[in-house]
A and B are shown apart, each in its own frame.
Chain A
């Protein structure tokens, strides 16, 4: 008699076994209980364990990211325009790559936030946190005053390319211009895909971000290969993603036309020897003058200037 429940239990399991193989819908496995027993019905001082609820990154840390972004841009402007120091800018680049890239795993970045902003503007049901808005707006505001300070030493995508520039070739001016238009095409496409209805929506910039796989140390193989290809090309063609594809770079480039200051090569101070033009891997020095639209704030022109070196030492 006492073995009876056990036998029933066993029979249930065997029945379940048979039924699952025979007919997927009807499973005669008997659920032993109809309602969940609670602490009082179980007794014996039993306490229902709490469900783990890991919280997301603290909000103040997200605010700190925005502050870090603003601070890094401030430092970038100061290092390039005031100190004219390529060395310290490289240090800032490495720092930004470590923090915004590898530590924050490339999220959140102003480039991708472009899409969120577009969707939030277009879709009444979609809203974005304040930190995302700030991340999007800050580099543009800085560009309106000082040029693309965000691109130099702050942007993680730029930084990873900046650090692999090995033996840059000068891209023929006309080809450089033509390829440069690609980023506006990409910008248009990204906006087009982002404003689609919610279920058809796609964030192209994030999906085809070539470097985020490295930052996260995981990713689809084809994207990692693409990222690797960009880095290999980037050894000889300075920062190809920034110059030819980055949609946010397109916005920043447009903002620089109103910039009050920027990297300037002035004949009164420099020599007009052309060393800086040869040193610029990004084709941003035309007729001995820096083109703010294309200048990526790397300060190489200053580092290569004999007069500047004289000043420094």
Chain B
């Protein structure tokens, strides 16, 4: 044991370091998807295959990232390109016959009375069941200019996210589209 190094010195160093870190502390920080970087939600990426790294890379069994429909921005379209697979064959109702979501996590519900004569003025509510959603990003890729209004984005579910020291999705993301923010600044 060295004589010159005392417990008091070490404690002082620890306390000093801790005080520095506490002073710097910015409240609670959370991971969040940066929509302006995420290839699924940013513009001018329409038509390419949706990136599903958020689904495959998250350490939580069912990814902590899920799609969120910002309802105030939703067009409530009759034929929603995020709900329907608009490239599938049209059925007798005049709608694409297939749904886009592989997990059937989006529910479509008519708002008010449906007028079959005037489909453009019928509105539908699209609710995403976040318990089912695994954040594959397919709907996000479709719901943006020019097809949609961009109301669906990927977000981290804070109650599912284990707040890893270093997000494993970010590790894999070619766009570096995940960021750490203080909780009051995050979505």
A binds B: yes
Chain B: CB-nearest residue to A21: B87
B75 touches A24 (CB 8 A): no
Residues of A within 8 A of B11 (CB): 141, 144
Residue from A27, A36, A44, A202 within 8 A of B147 (CB atoms): A27
Residues of A within 8 A of B75 (CB): 31-33, 35-37
A260 lies within 8 A of chain B by Cβ: yes
Q: How far is the CB of B167 from chain A (nearest CB, A)?
A: 10
The answer for the CA separation of A161 and B148 in the assembled complex, in Å, is 53
* Segment 173-226 of A: residues with Cβ below 8 Å from B: 199, 201-203, 206-207, 216-219
B38 lies within 8 A of chain A by Cβ: no
A121 lies within 8 A of chain B by Cβ: yes
A130 lies within 8 A of chain B by Cβ: yes
Interface residue range, chain A? 35 or more
Chain A: CB-nearest residue to B6: A258
Chain A: CB-nearest residue to B116: A6
The answer for the CA separation of A219 and B86 in the assembled complex, in Å, is 35
Q: Decide if the interface of chain B is mainly helix, strand, loop or mixed.
A: loop
Known: A29-B86, A130-B25. A36 touches B125 (CB 8 A): no
Residue from A51, A112, A127, A129 within 8 A of B70 (CB atoms): A51
A115 touches B6 (CB 8 A): no
* Segment 48-96 of B: residues with Cβ below 8 Å from A: 48, 59-61, 68-79, 81, 86-90, 94-96
Stretch at the interface among A52-60, A76-84, A164-172, A238-246: A52-60
Listed A/B pairs (27) with beta-carbon separation below 8 Å:
A6-B119, A9-B94, A9-B119, A10-B94, A13-B90, A13-B96, A16-B87, A17-B86, A24-B46, A27-B46, A33-B76, A36-B74, A44-B113, A46-B112, A54-B157, A54-B159, A54-B160, A112-B165, A128-B25, A133-B25, A137-B14, A140-B14, A144-B10, A145-B7, A203-B166, A219-B59, A255-B10
Q: Which 6 A-B pairs have CB atoms at the shortest separation, nearest pair first?
A: A24-B47, A56-B158, A54-B159, A203-B166, A44-B112, A33-B75
